[in-house]
Amino acid sequence: MIATRRFTSNVSNQFRALITGAPGSGKGTISSRIATDFDLVHISSGDVLRRHVKQGTELGHKAKAYIDNGTLVPDDLMVNLMTNEIKRISKTRWLLDGFPRTIEQAKQLHKKQKFDVVVNLDVPFSEIKRRIQQRYVHLSSGRVYHLEWNPPKNAGMDDVTGEPLTQRDDDKPETVASRLNIFQSQMAPVLAFYKDLGILQTFTGTESDVIYPEIKAYLLGYLQSK
């Protein structure tokens, strides 16, 4: 098989992807592998929001209550925020994670920006609830750990910066249940929208180490066909 780096160095800059899936399905984990292997910029809407909250911006103040309750930040705020983020990276290959996640967001974005592929992670909710209890994150970079599955090299510390890891405020069991319910009701029409456009590819499983090679092969195949 051709090495990914050698291959991707020949492809155009015009590659726009979305990764979607329920809270805790592994979007962040798999995105960091895609970003490394395909030399893409990864932008997670949740990471962007959490940085605003941490910095105490006006948007951060508005978004905090929604995030802490496990409900969605209003569409108009999200569309403004994320279209600005996309403008900043318009010259690079990129992967969005967690936006759009309502049909309104998808339609608004579609007027301005089309995706080449949408990768959908389909992981059972029972597995997700188990995973999230052991998740730790490095807030400023968005790096994600799991106490057993991918623990940090030094307990409680980020591998790259050595800064302390934290648990997300919205990872309490009752908040996770609310996030999963909202995901189910809001994402069904979004997935149907991308399916109708012929760009949705779903990967089902419980192991990111098994799902990722399938995603990588799919993306390589897609890029090779262009």
Binding residues (CB under 6 A) for ligand AP5: these are 21, 23-29, 44-46, 49, 66-67, 70-73, 78, 98-101, 105, 131-132, 135, 144-146, 149-150, 170, 179, 207-208
Give the CB-nearest residue to Mg ion.
28
**What's the CA angle centered on 45, arms 41 and 50, to 5 degrees?**
110
Quick one: 132 exposed, middle or buried, by C-beta within 10 A (0-12, 13-18, 19+)? buried
Cβ closer to ligand AP5: 24 or 117? 24
CB of 71 to Mg ion, least distance (A): 17
C-alpha distances in angstroms, 208 versus 28, 38, 93, 205, 225? 11, 17, 23, 8, 25
Per CB under 5 A, the segment of 20-28, 50-58, 74-82, 105-113 that binds Mg ion is 20-28
Active-site option among 50, 93, 135, 143: 135
Least distance to Mg ion, CB of residue 226, Å: 28
User: Contact, 137 vs 27, CB < 8 A?
Assistant: no
Is 179 annotated in the active site? Answer: yes
Residue from 28, 70, 100, 152 binding Mg ion (CB under 5 A): 28
- The amino acid sitting at 143 is R
Measured CA to CA, the distance from residue 184 to residue 146 in angstroms comes to 24
Catalytic residue status for 16:
no
33 is catalytic: no
Nearer to Mg ion, 8 or 105 (CB): 105
As a whole number of angstroms, the distance between CA 1 and CA 5 comes to 12
Catalytic residues: 27, 101, 135, 168, 179
